[in-house]
Structure 1
């Protein structure tokens, strides 16, 4: 019992710090001022921009990440460990550094920028840059989660489908992906949450232009910098609300076995 209370102390510190930060945001503005800030055209624009770009970004991340995760889960190839390390790099690289690298790569002097300029395409300092930054940071989470989802599926199911005459491609689509659906849904939610909260790489690639490349995190930054704390708080609360919904969704996607084991351990303690 003494150990139980000793363990409760750090948990209590964490809970109080989180409640303090969230509570301070919620109570910072009077309700009428908060309502006006939530209805401000800039807040609504930032919300629409964040939702549109993050949904597109997570779709692109799934398009790239699910096949990549399957390849990493099912096949061995030379340099696989190095590839996996590179794919994890965006998760540990500061977003500003990642954005700076992409800016140099896609700028006029960069290799990527020179190739795109041949087709008259420019991605920087535009909503397309927002999508690119969000896709970059979300893809690492999607690849890792998709790989784990496919690893959790017994490969024998696909082998049985192959022996029944189903091609590997159809076995993937009709057998393995449905069996990995819960894990892939988790990958999508994680990627979406990461894309919604992206700021550093977006700032480097898309710039901080009001009512043009202004996502919710960008709106918080711009309005805090200019002293418009009302809109900044409103956008921060919208972000927190979206994050709460996504976290709740993740809990709903969690495996029942894990929840039961947690309850069982809690009962024993």
Structure 2
């Protein structure tokens, strides 16, 4: 490594040390016994279950919306496309608290949408359904951006070839384009799930902060810090960090292990 490489390595080492310090400080705050008790407490287990249930449902809804939208953006040309792409990217740069306020006003009883939902007997606010709504809103934008790049990297001629062999566009999409874009789509799903798991600001505004009802892991950290139950807050924070680490590691493994498979599928098509 030359002198320039060593110089550039210093910020890398500094950033890594700060992250290790943050994680280490959290882990060292509690004794092993106290940490075990906090991890196995009823509230912590409830928050873990609520986070997993709502984030997985949100991921499914986000994929259902985002994958077709991403394919349309990657394959179709239409007036105002740049504006639509910018609009779909907006949730990624909007502060989650602002997004939550917007969703709250959109679904409030004084808005036409909220009034129509109330008339139909549908209540999304301050309930677990509100958690799913907020998580889907923030996750879908990330999935659209990543999945669009995945579809754009696949040569459309493969789908056209499948059409000439008798496959309908729908089956060509499922049997040719989806497998060839699999690496990017898996990465999109993992990133979207991670974003949904860590969502706090929009969830707070839309679903509220009610213990043992709308208490996800980020909400549990907030509630327990506010009430002085630091041990429970640290336990939930460590679980969140552990899940985030595993999900990010999964994306690294996908990036490392799938190129040969994708290349093989491409040749076979």
Question: What is the CA deviation profile of residues 97-145 of structure 1, one whole-angstrom value per residue up to 9, with x for unaligned ones?
Answer: 0000000000001122112122110100000000000000000011111
Match of 2:262 in 1: none
Match of 1:176 in 2: 177
Match of 2:50 in 1: 49
Q: Shift of the alpha carbon at 1:255?
A: 4.4
Match of 1:220 in 2: 221
Match of 2:267 in 1: none
Is 1:190 aligned to residue 191 of structure 2? yes
Which runs of 4 or more aligned residues in structure 1 lie more than 2 Å from their structure 2 counterparts after TM superposition? 255-258
- Give unmatched runs, 5+ long, in structure 1: 259-269
In structure 2, the CA distance between the partners of 1:168 and 1:257, relative to structure 1 (3 Å rule), is closer
Which whole-Å CA distance do the structure 1 matches of 2:200 and 2:113 have between them? Answer: 22
Match of 2:151 in 1: 150
Counterpart secondary structure, 1:97:
helix
Contact 2:183 2:258 in 1 (8 A): no
Match of 2:204 in 1: 203
Corresponding pairs, count: 259
In structure 2, the CA distance between the partners of 1:83 and 1:224, relative to structure 1 (3 Å rule), is same
Which whole-Å CA distance do the structure 2 matches of 1:144 and 1:257 have between them? Answer: 20
Match of 2:109 in 1: 108
Which whole-Å CA distance do the structure 2 matches of 1:111 and 1:31 have between them? Answer: 53
Contact 2:126 2:214 in 1 (8 A): yes
Which whole-Å CA distance do the structure 2 matches of 1:167 and 1:246 have between them? Answer: 35
Match of 1:262 in 2: none
Provide TM-score, normalisation by structure 2: 0.94
Match of 2:80 in 1: 79
Contact 2:200 2:218 in 1 (8 A): yes
Match of 1:242 in 2: 243
> What do you get for the CA RMSD once the two structures are aligned?
1.3
Which whole-Å CA distance do the structure 1 matches of 2:203 and 2:112 have between them? Answer: 20
Question: What is the CA deviation profile of residues 1-42 of structure 1, one whole-angstrom value per residue up to 9, with x for unaligned ones?
Answer: 221221121112101110110000011100000000001100
Which whole-Å CA distance do the structure 2 matches of 1:96 and 1:168 have between them? Answer: 40
Which whole-Å CA distance do the structure 2 matches of 1:218 and 1:48 have between them? Answer: 13
Provide TM-score, normalisation by structure 1: 0.94
Q: Shift of the alpha carbon at 1:257?
A: 9.1
Which whole-Å CA distance do the structure 1 matches of 2:10 and 2:81 have between them? Answer: 43
Which whole-Å CA distance do the structure 2 matches of 1:229 and 1:255 have between them? Answer: 39
Which whole-Å CA distance do the structure 2 matches of 1:187 and 1:115 have between them? Answer: 33
Q: Shift of the alpha carbon at 1:256?
A: 5.3
